[in-house]
Structure 1
Amino acid sequence: MMKIPTCLVRVVAPAAAATLVTAVLGSAVFASAPQYNEEAEAFLEKHCARCHNDERMAGNWTLSDVALDDVSKGMNLADWESVLRVTQRGEMPPASRPKPGHEELQGFVDWLQGSLDGYASANPNPGRATLRRLNRNEYSNAVRDLLHINQDLSEALPADDSGYGFDNIADVLSVSPVLMDRYLAVAGKVSRLAVGLGSDQPYTTTYQLPKDGSILNQGVPSYDERMSHYLPLDSRGGGVFEYYAPQDGEYEISGYLNANTNNEVDRLEDNRVSLRVPLTAGAHYIGMTFRKDLALDERVQILHNTTEEVPLPSAPPTSLTLDFVVDGARVGSTEVPSYYMSPRYAQHNFPRDVLEINVAGPYEVIGPGVTPSRAKIFSCTPGIWPFTENYCAQKILGKLARQAYRRPVEANDIERLMKVYRQAQTQSNSSFEQGIAAAIQAILVSPSFLFLYESDPQDAAPGTVHRISDVEYAARLALFLWSSLPDEELLSLAEKGKLREPKVLQQQVARMLTDDRALALEQNFAGQWLYLRNLEFHRPDVKEFPEFDVPLRDAMKRESELFFSSIVRNNASILDFLKSDYTFLNERLAAHYGIAGVKGPELRRVQLAPDSMRGGLLGQASILTVTSYANHTSVVRRGQWVLANLLAAPPPPAPPDVPALKAESTSGKALNAREQLAQHSKDPACHSCHVRMDPIGLSLEKYDAIGRLRELDAGRPIDVTTAMPDGRAFEGLYGLQDVLMDSREQFAGAFTERLMIYALGRGLEANDQPKVRQIIRTARANNYPMHEIILGILTSEPFNYRMVPAHEKTTAAVH
């Protein structure tokens, strides 16, 4: 069969569409197909007609609906996109039917893809527009950047619902009276704190150090480690937390000590230590920790969990040095006694450790001090005319509102805030600063702040498409890369109409991705895409995995976060997610992996040996752990995760009555994972899904439920040789990586889809898929660099344009 002719041409569209395409995509070209194609018709008749006909209606479509001269007629675009996906992946025709030859299949795929892309180019559609509320992480970041106040407000707000795998999806971010009450309370507290009106009456903030009940860490107690980079280098145990001092003054740092037993229920005054220190207003890292140079006898530092008699040291030390730490520096120390528990406990010897840290204050208040918040807010100080209080209030509120509302402010914006300011001032003879605090609270609960609002042209007809303004684009850009507000540089460029100039945009994206605020991509996008947020709530069985503890869990999570951020910051290829010769380790995680030569608690980039059995996401313990059960691995979960998250090809949900895997044979013999699945997949209803998932999961079976290498399962050697449904044989992690690298374009498309969903705050539809394909076609030439994927999204039609919703013609700004 002759390959279907395909030509690449510049799209010729109606005037408005042509302007749109040129403005957004420049000189991009799209595949265009002949209006009618006999080979395409023959392909459909040969390989699809048996199931997709008027009688069987498989997949809920029939060839009777197909119009080969116009893909927009008859069968809808979503069905055509589905046909394209399953034929590209080789999932259709099904395994029971003869498969088309490579050229025959590629010809049909080229024709269909060209038809869909050509139609999309001639009929611009950026997707439906939805009013989008800031989620709680975005709200917290926006307040931080608006007021320069280092406070995490997300935990003070209710958790947000998720859609399409992310919690920034407009459709699920509803608003309730309860939520508005929380916004008012949070806004009131943070506005007073930022202005410098925080409480001058003492109150106590409590931080409980995480305890995980683990017994051993390679033979050394986990509390023998340095617990944070905010603590001195020669420290062990204890902890540190971020505390915001509301005023300049004195504060009492205190803590309760324990012996690391399981009866940590009492807060005895005998176990309390404290110290008063002066603190300036603002954020500080407060900690308590022991000095290693005065550590206990080595025999005491080892936790003995055996039935053998372990003699106590004949002359145990009688005291330890406990340091009080502020912002990494020791501000005081005290000697605390050391003691031993009764020999009746299995864990015979326990050095002291910190159970809880409290900070009480302020005492001896001096004043609000000089903080980044006050410096940002009070850009105008009342004094000699014309700098009256009203004049400065207007200047201050106008500047804050411009950034908060992500647009130039108008006179009525300022007047609304000034009304709140004047009302607060007249109540009980309030001060200038109290009036400013009240107006800032009003900003923080304004719909213009809470919602990403975009306006339509006056008298625009429903369903028409228009380009969003530059300041609206800046707001989208900052929300995507920073989960926050645009800064002054972005706003200024947007107001001058320069932000979307290609060189300027590239420079700004590079700047933004190296800024600390880009950690939001790591925490919010990667945290949800890779399920890293789930790790905090994953509880491996303590009997099966006694070595799993908080430091190990945190190191697992940070490895994946730093790996993601490294690819973003260095503009590396996204294919590193599949296969890499480096990762990020500290001593604890390296020991877990069996990798020598890594010392200390700080994670750093480590070059991997060719035989390390690590590299890429699937060699990381975080992914292997969250895709396992508490006490054993899961071939199905791991296979499903790869299909859904890396290939955008999730299997259908399991039926409600699916039987559980049997851990034993009828004779009582323990079955390994391969044997359990072989028995389970005998059911034809199960086989169709498991044939795709199981080879992937089986190849990772040499990693246990917390990501360590192992050789045995159910007492027998683990076999990680397997094959994909198309017959490709492979073995273990490295073989799976090669299989995924062979599907690199599918992975690039899947990653781009996930990132575009996150960037747009909505699910993708059929009309979005041609834009995804255009992005990966462009990035393919340079081996899919991260920045090119991001810039492709930023210059795409959905990110730059807006369709006027059917329910509204035009609107004024929200207030």
Structure 2
Amino acid sequence: MIPSRCSLTRSMCWLTIVTSFLMAVAFVDVLAAQSTPSSAPNQHFLQKIRPFLKAYCYDCHGAETQEADLRLDTLEEDFTQSSSASTWIEVMDKMNLGEMPPEDSPSPTTAELAAVTHWIAAELRQAQRDSLGNGGRVILRRMNRAEYTNTVRDLLHLRFLPGESPEGVLPPDGTAEGFDKVSVALMLDPSLLDKYFEVAQRIADKAIVDGPPPFATETMRLEMEDIAENRAIDYLCATPGIECQEKAIVLMQGSTRSFGVMKYPGTRNEIPVNGMYRIRVRAWGERGADGEPVIMRVRQGHPSADQQFLLETEVTDEPKIYEVVVPRDPKSGEYNVSIVNQTGFQTSSRVGNEIRKQQQQAGTAKDYEKVMRLQSRQQLENLTWGKPNPDAADTSKLRKLVVDWLECEGPLYDQWPPKSHDTLFFRGENAPEDEAYLRDIFTQFLPKAFRRPVTQDEIEKVVSLCRSELAAGESYHDAVRTGLISILCSPKFLYIVEPSTSDQQRPLTSWELSSRLSYFLWSSMPDEELFQLAESGQLGQPGILSAQVDRMLADDKSHGFVQGFGAQWLKTDEFRNFMPDANLYKEYDDSLGEAMVGEVIAFFDEILRKDESALSFFDADWTMLNERLAKFYGIAGVEGNEFRRVTLPEDSPRGGLLAMAGVAMRGSDGNRTKPVNRGVYVREVLFNDPPNPPPPNAGEVEPNIKGENLTVRERLVQHQQIPSCAACHRTIDCYGMALENFNAIGAWRTNQDGENFRGRNTPPIDASGTLPNGSSFESFDDFKLLLLDQKERFAHGLSEKMLTYALGRPIEPADRVLIDQLSEQMQANNYTLSSLIHGVVASQAFHTK
């Protein structure tokens, strides 16, 4: 940070950003003023709802009697008024709780009760959507933090290393309709003001550099012979499974490490600064009696688990150099090289079993001293002066990893000055540092930042600010940094602006269309090709627009769509809301949890990129696995941390979204499954059909009390006996009970587990049920087939979700015809995501402000 320029820059940035905030507030006020709800009651209310209220409610809440100060005979159906809406909510809650009508009054049937509560819930949802919408117009919205980060990345050609991304500084975005792209949830909040300034300063300091790199690229190597006489590794050479040779270390199990020996010249650390580093290992393998290849894994010590893994690969029988380029920072500790999947030595089975037993008990009994005594005994039985005893351990049949040397090179630079610097100072460092160059810098840069042509007045405001900095004695680079900060704080950068002076819809300009398209499919700004098409006015031509959609989906930047739409639609951020009980689910660890999320995102990505049918979300004979998840699923032959497409064994219960462990874990509380939660997920995600909200204090299915041994299904059935609960639960629970074969962490089970269910004589899982449409199923496989029969419903719900995401506004009644058209187009094209995306982009709604 450069203190001398902070005061002026901060004042200017606050001015622009407060202006942005006031613009947003004013715009919301305008929208509120434009809302004109209809006051005419509809026929359903007159013919169904009012007669119901008259029959069952007016005696206690009518003209003559108003128990609890509640009068319903004058209650209108206007859900846009807060007083009326709150009364309807109270009526719905009382009905759902079974408190209305009272027991001594005539009671409606369950079907009648359900019809009214469902109508109230639907009207409330529509009123909420209407309050968020604006007659089909897309309103001004701020970029969410992912879009902001991606835009800065592409605008300045920056690479954000772990811990540097603006997403880690900016607070979470608001959501509406399940996405963080809906306009009304993304207005500026006062808490964001200082954060935007802080982020802009960080970006400016990273993008513009002074002088040569602070640290030159250096190579640090650790030869095994250099440490062979180092007493610090005596223990390593004495460890069973590790053998120290003259110029190498042989690993049969365990690992060797860098021992903190490698230091960047002139420092006490190996890593002097955040950056990219090249890790090299010279190694080879010796296959064992099983003939299996030798697998090498390289990891580093780091406080963040997601930065610990560096490399995993099969090594050859001949010496070879293996390398990987990875981000590292000064918090990175020494790194280690290990051999993977070794079976270990043949030690005393009696002592070994005793050790394992005591280690398991130590987790609760804390009898660590006894464990240590047993480990020492095992050492004495199997070792003689730190070397394997041939009578106790046979190493000849083991696989061996031979490590010759370790090396770290860095920090690495793609170029210097970095491309971000050259993007701004496009004439090079020898160009004259005068005001004319300042004007040229921002004449070239500002249209890309604002994603449209700019005026001379807009350029002059930035140049004037830079000129003031130079007059205050700041350097030329610092002046440009200040100009850059002001741009990154400007509402014209922070907002996706589609200005309009009328409350009527209008066609988008070609520039606005390019931004709407790029933020839909890339979650980032347009690239040079889109800008050129916008400038020529050709982008809106159907053939060209369609070709651009195909090009953009094939580009790596479409990962922004996968993370933006795919992850939010499938709710992957909720998979790890509860930590599984470590005593009940010992298979679970953080790497498995990460893999559960990764499978779903990779599955979505595979369907999108291979243009496969989205019906694979119901069932498929393949999934996306890495080694950790494949091991959990009991599928062999998958090695490494990368996800790849794997054909499932014929007897595998997996296949489709609902068979993925992450979905199952989301529908649990860490101890037991929660079928209601799972049922809600199925309805919301696959059909965009969320159930009615539960009444306040409705609670949920309680855990087993002491002395009971009821399954979740048995407790849920008891819960359904409450008449007020039955109406809603019969449309939810069946979806969740069908998933009961998956336990709290998504492992397949045929008998109850979790909670107090342990041992062999636990109750069998009953995954049968009846869907709301009357179709019955006996198993999870039957259930998936019945869901697949509702593929038209799926296409309709997915079309609603996609349109909401693309337009950044809720679906409105006027969109119904378009939704039907998108759904039909998807069905006619094998239910591919690409056909739906093409349909959205070609629609009039996508081209209209």
CA distance in 2, matches of 1:469, 1:294: 58
| Structure 1 residues 544-563: aligned runs within 5 Å | 544-563=584-603
How much does 1:490 deviate? 0.8
What's the offset of the Cα at 1:662? 4.2
Q: 1:198 to 1:153 in 2, by over 3 A?
A: farther
1:535 Cα deviation after fit: 3.3
- The one-letter code matched in structure 2 to 1:567 is I
Correspondent of 2:721 among 682, 698, 703: 682
Measured in 2, the distance between the counterparts of 1:753 and 1:488 equals 31
1:707 has 2:746 as partner: yes
Which of 336, 340, 352 does residue 290 from structure 1 map onto? 336
Q: C-alpha separation between the residues in 1 aligned to 2:172 and 2:583?
A: 32
Taking only aligned residues, the RMSD between alpha carbons, in angstroms, comes to 4.4
- Measured in 2, the distance between the counterparts of 1:393 and 1:234 equals 63
- Distance 1:252-1:130 versus aligned 2 partners, 3 A rule: same
Partners in 1 of 2:710 and 2:341 — Cα distance?
47
**1:136 match:** 145
Is the CA contact (8 Å cut-off) linking 1:640 and 1:651 kept in structure 2?
yes
CA 1:572–1:367 in 2, change beyond 3 Å: closer, same or farther?
A: closer
Match of 2:837 among 771, 790, 796: 790
Structure 2 letter corresponding to 1:581: D
Mapped pair 1:609 → 2:649: yes
Please state how far the C-alpha of 1:58 moved relative to its aligned partner.
11
Secondary structure of 2:769's match? strand
Q: CA-to-partner distance for each residue in 1:164-202, whole Å, 9 max, x for gaps?
A: 212222212232343121111211121121111499889
Secondary structure at the aligned position of 1:298 is classed as coil
1:494 maps to 534
Q: Quote the offset at 1:400 in angstroms.
A: 2.0
Distance 2:543 2:428 in 1: 39
> 3-state SS of the aligned residue for 2:573?
helix
Letter of the 1:253 counterpart: E
- Contact in 1 for aligned 2:566/2:601 (Cα 8 Å): yes
CA contact (8 A) 1:236 1:289 kept: no
Whether 1:766 and 2:813 are equivalent positions in the alignment is yes
Alpha-carbon distance in structure 2 between the residues aligned to 1:437 and 1:675:
66
Q: 1:735 aligns with which of 758, 763, 782?
A: 782
Structure 1 residues 728 and 195: alpha-carbon distance in aligned structure 2, compared to 1, 3 A threshold: same
Match of 1:585 among 611, 615, 625: 625
- Which residue in 1 is equivalent to 2:156? 147
Q: Is the 8 A contact 1:483 1:520 kept in 2?
A: yes
Q: 1:250 to 1:468 in 2, by over 3 A?
A: farther
1:317 and 1:479 map into 2 onto residues whose CA distance is 63
Q: Which position in structure 1 is the counterpart of 2:366?
A: none
The structural deviation recorded for 1:154 is 0.7
Tell me which amino acid in the other structure corresponds to 2:383. S
CA distance in 2, matches of 1:428, 1:627: 61
Question: Which position in structure 2 is the counterpart of 1:443?
Answer: 487
1:238–1:535 distance in 2 versus 1, CA, 3 Å: farther
> Which structure 2 residues correspond to residues 231-630 of structure 1 after superposition, within 5 A?
252-253=269-270, 284-285=327-328, 288-292=334-338, 298=344, 305-307=356-358, 309-310=374-375, 311-312=378-379, 314=383, 330-331=407-408, 369-381=416-428, 389-431=434-476, 433-456=477-500, 462-630=502-670
For residue 146 of structure 1, report the CA deviation from its aligned partner: 0.6
SS in 2 for 1:544: coil
| Larger Cα-atom Rg | 2
Offset at 1:395? 2.8
Which residue type is aligned with residue 693 of structure 1? Answer: I
Counterpart-to-counterpart distance in 2, 1:289 and 1:553: 24
Q: Distance in 1 between matches of 2:719 and 2:670?
A: 21
Does the 8 A contact of 1:722 with 1:729 survive in 2?
yes
- 1:634 aligned partner: 674
Separation in structure 2 between the aligned mates of residue 658 and residue 142 of structure 1, nearest angstrom = 44
For the residue of structure 2 that corresponds to 1:706, the secondary structure is: coil
Note the C-alpha offset of 1:427.
2.8
Whether contact under 8 Å (1:587, 1:598) holds in the other structure is yes
- Distance in 2, matches of 1:507 and 1:265, equals 45
Q: State how 1:77-226 maps to structure 2 within 5 Å.
A: 96=111, 127-151=136-160, 152-197=165-210
- The CA distance in 2 between the partners of 1:234 and 1:402, in whole Å, is 60
Look up the match of 1:64. Answer: none
Structure 1 residue 562, shift from structure 2 partner:
0.8
CA displacement 1:201-226 (0-9 Å, x = unmatched): 89xxxxxxxxxxxxxxxxxxxxx9xx
Instruction: Tell me the distance in 2 between the aligned counterparts of 1:383 and 1:58.
Output: 86
Offset, 1:739: 1.6
* Residues 1:670 and 2:718 aligned together: no
Change in 2 beyond 3 A, CA 1:780/1:299 = same
Q: Deviations over 1:694-732 (max 9, x none)?
A: 111111111111111011114111111211133211133
Work out the CA distance in 1 between the residues paired with 2:594 and 2:524. 25
Distance 2:621 2:414 in 1: 54
- Structure 1 pair 136/688, CA: closer, same or farther in 2 (3 Å)? same
SS at 1:253's partner residue? Answer: coil
Distance 1:726 1:295 in 2: 50
User: Hey, what does 1:119 align to over in structure 2?
Assistant: none
Q: Could you tell me which of 781, 804, 819 is aligned with 1:757?
A: 804
* 2:318 equivalent in structure 1: none
Q: Structure 2 CA distance, aligned partners of 1:791 and 1:95?
A: 44
Supply the AA of the counterpart residue of 2:180. Answer: D
Task: Give yes or no for contact 1:290–1:322 (8 Å, CA) kept in 2.
Answer: no
Measure, in 1, the Cα distance between the counterparts of 2:545 and 2:808: 21
Residues 661-688 of structure 1 show CA distances to partners (whole Å, capped at 9, x for unaligned) of 244489x330112111111100011111
C-alpha distance in 2 between matches for 1:455 and 1:249? 56
Confirm or deny: 8 A CA contact 1:477 1:794 kept in the other structure.
yes
Structure 1 residues 6-59: Cα deviation after superposition (integer angstroms, max 9, x where no partner):
xxxxxxxxxxxxxxxxxxxxxxxxxxxxxxxxxxx9xx99x9945565865999
The normalised TM-score by structure 2 is 0.64
SS at match of 1:467: coil
- How far apart are the structure 1 equivalents of 2:326 and 2:627? 30
Displacement after TM superposition at 1:398 (Å): 2.2
Residues 250 and 466 of structure 1: CA distance in aligned 2, closer, same or farther (over 3 Å): farther
Paired residues of 1:692 and 1:724 also in contact (CA < 8 A): yes
More deviation, 614-623/372-381:
372-381
Local SS of the residue matching 1:290 = strand
Structure 2 CA distance for aligned equivalents of residues 234 and 510 of structure 1 = 50
Displacement after TM superposition at 1:321 (Å):
10
**Quick one: distance in 2 between partners of 1:396 and 1:170?**
32
Task: Give the corresponding residue for 1:343.
Answer: none
Q: Give the 3 Å change call, closer, same or farther, for CA 470–595 of structure 1 in structure 2.
A: same
Give the number of the structure whose residues are more often helix, by fraction. Answer: 2
Question: Is there any run of 5+ residues in structure 1 with no aligned partner, and where?
Answer: 1-40, 60-73, 79-92, 98-123, 203-223, 225-232, 241-247, 256-263, 267-281, 333-358, 803-815
Q: Which amino acid aligns with 2:645?
A: R
Q: Is the 8 A contact 1:126 1:768 kept in 2?
A: no
Contact 2:739 2:767 in 1 (8 A): yes
**CA, structure 1 residues 140+251, in 2 after alignment: closer, same or farther (shift >3 Å)?**
farther
Q: Deviations over 1:354-377 (max 9, x none)?
A: xxxxx9x99xxx999232322333
Shift of 1:299: 5.3
Counterparts of 2:55 and 2:154, CA distance in 1: 55
Q: Provide the TM-score with structure 1 as the length reference.
A: 0.67
The code of the aligned residue for 2:662 comes to S
Tell me, which stretches of 5 or more residues in structure 2 are unaligned?
Answer: 1-41, 58-75, 81-107, 113-132, 216-241, 243-250, 259-264, 273-300, 304-324, 360-373, 389-400
Distance 1:772 1:412 in 2: 43
